[in-house]
Amino acid sequence: MSRTEQAYAELIRRVKDYNLLSSCGAVLGWDERTYMPHDGSAHRAEQMALVARLTHEMATAPRVGELLAEVEGSPLVGDQDGDAAANVREVRRGYQRAVKLPPDLVEELARTTTRAQQVWQEARAANDFATFRPWLEKIVALKRREAEAIGYQASPYDALLDEYEPGATAAEITRVFAGLRDDLVPLVRAILGSAKKAPHDILEREYPIEPQRAFGEGAAKAIGFDFAAGRLDVTTHPFCSGIGPGDCRITTRYNPRHFNEAFFGILHEAGHGIYEQGLPADQFGTPLGSACSLGIHESQSRLWENQVGRGRPFWEHFFPKAKVVFPAALGDVSLGQWLFAINDVRPSFIRVEADEATYNMHIILRFELEQALIAGDLKPADAPAAWNEKLTQFFGLTPTTDALGCLQDIHWSMGGLGYFPTYTLGNLYAAQLMEAARRDLGDLDGDFRRGEFGRLKGWLNEKVHRPGQRWRAGELCRRVTGRPLSHKPLIAYLRGKYGPLYDI
């Protein structure tokens, strides 16, 4: 083994070690949001702070920089699409970000956000923004420090966005969102102006929780989530945690008077889980064993939840089963009525319950508020009023409580400023990837009618999951679909779905 090969082997060993430690933190984070006793929050915050500090120390060790310098420019990374080149490129990116962050900031962020999530959960339940406000102020201040430490060219928000969507900028996202909004607003206006109204009350009948759990778990298993390597639990705000090979945890929340909340939440998180389970296990801890970006990650959840899970072929298979599981609620309901109900379009307060047509406007709202918070143009104390003003502007709805407004999402409490834009990017990628899958695979609807999802899952495994971070999101999209990311496939998909439903 040459000296360069030895350096690369040591680099990969070190990278795997600190990501293995980070995965221990992921277990603690999952437990905090599922089973941890209420009074364990302060102690868990100290545990998370310690793990964050130790991981940061390992990731920023001078030896990592020395190894990178030794390998970069060598023949080992000559093939830009090769394993070594991809790993070294992305390790360098992570190293450059990490060494700019003071250890005390990393530790304090972990400590504060762990405590803040507990406070947020209680504040949301009590509709009490005042309790959460000081924690939001701390988090925004810490994230501003983070942005300044990392550096940026145009906007401090860029430094935070880059953590989740490498290479993306606020200006670029703004342009993409503007094109989407230009086509989306008239479509939503036409839908809302239609005389046809979905029988939404069907979804608000009695759906007992245990049958919901069994039905949702069965659907997740059918589309390809491996329960021998994963589990489903309950939480306040659903999430997926990819702990490592053979261990992927998904969560949901149940509402006995609203079918969509848990079922489509399970499909959504199972989509994330299928991505995590599809990453190459032997590359765990390296960029090649990690998700490409959160936008691509979100594309997998939205693809299974919406592109597949809200389609007629899917329910031609699952609706007869649903009628058996929920006979009282669905005994008098036809397939057509059911499809109209689950694809109902109506402005709403809650993002995770929003329909496909209005969902992205929720993201644009958060994207605009987050930029203002990080720039200092919006004080955290004024977030509820600013949120309500924008929601009224976008949807003609004014939240009557902060639980329906700025307290509804967990992301700010966990320090995830910069995260929200990836949801809409995920919708865009999902539509374009599904368009490519249908082109490559032919009659997928026939598969879905038979309850067969293996061909689509296999295509996604090969094209999207196994490459890991070999390419950045935009390049992955171009290679898989044959063209750069565009909002046009999503608009075409939405028009194709809602045109017949609403006669527009």
At 232, phi and psi to the nearest 5? -125, 125
Q: What are phi and psi of 167, to 5 degrees?
A: 90, -15
> What is the reported pLDDT for 83?
96
AA letter at 178: A
Query: Among 488, 217, 430, which residue's Cα sits nearest to residue 307?
Result: 430
Tokens (6 digits) for 242: 């990819």
Whether 306 and 359 have beta carbons less than 8 Å apart is answered as: no
Q: Which residues contact 243 (CB under 8 A, 6 or more apart)?
A: 23, 26, 27, 30, 249
Is the CB of residue 275 less than 8 Å from the CB of residue 250?
A: no
- pLDDT averages per 10-residue partition of the chain, 504 residues: 95 98 97 96 96 97 98 93 96 98 97 97 97 98 98 96 96 95 95 96 97 98 98 95 98 96 97 98 98 98 98 98 98 98 96 94 97 98 98 95 97 98 98 98 98 98 98 97 97 97 96
Strands in 230-234's sheet, in edge-to-edge order, are 230-234, 247-252, 240-244
Q: Residue 373: is it exposed, middle or buried by C-beta count within 10 angstroms (0-12/13-18/19+)?
A: buried
CATH of 170-502, one of 1.10.1040.10, 1.10.10.10, 1.10.1370.30, 1.10.3720.10: 1.10.1370.30
So what's the pLDDT on residue 81?
86
Q: What are the tens digits of pLDDT across the range 291-347?
A: 999 999 999 999 999 999 999 999 999 999 999 999 999 999 999 999 999 999 999
What DSSP line would sit under 412-436, residue for residue? TTTT-TT-THHHHHHHHHHHHHHHH
Place of tokens 């929780």: 209
- Cβ neighbours of 181 (radius 10 Å): 14
Q: Is the dihedral of CA 126, 129, 134, 135 positive or negative?
A: positive
Question: What is the per-residue pLDDT for 284?
Answer: 98
Task: Quote the Cα angle for 315-321-327, to 5°.
Answer: 115
pLDDT of residue 353: 87
- Give the SS3 label for residue 231: strand
Element (H, E) at 488: helix 488-502
> From CA 362, how far away is CA 402, in angstroms rounded?
15
DSSP class of 184: H
- Give the pLDDT confidence score for residue 357 in this predicted structure: 95
The four Cα atoms 312, 277, 253, 394 give a dihedral, to 10 degrees, of -60
The predicted structure's pLDDT at residue 272: 98
Structure tokens at 97: 């970000």
Q: Which amino acid is located at 146 in the chain?
A: E
pTM of the model: 0.96
pLDDT the model gives residue 1: 86
**Residue 96 confidence (pLDDT):** 97
Just list the catalytic residues: 269
Angle formed at CA 190 by CA 189 and CA 192, multiple of 5 degrees: 65
Pairing of strands 240-244, 247-252: antiparallel
- Domain assignments of the chain as residue spans, ordered by start: 3-129, 170-502
- Provide the token pair at 139: 């988090």
Dihedral pair phi/psi, residue 173, rounded to 5°? -60, -40
Residue 350: CB atoms within 10 A of its CB come to: 14
Q: Quote the pLDDT of residue 346.
A: 94
What is the spatial distance between Cα 123 and Cα 203, in angstroms, rounded to a whole number? 28
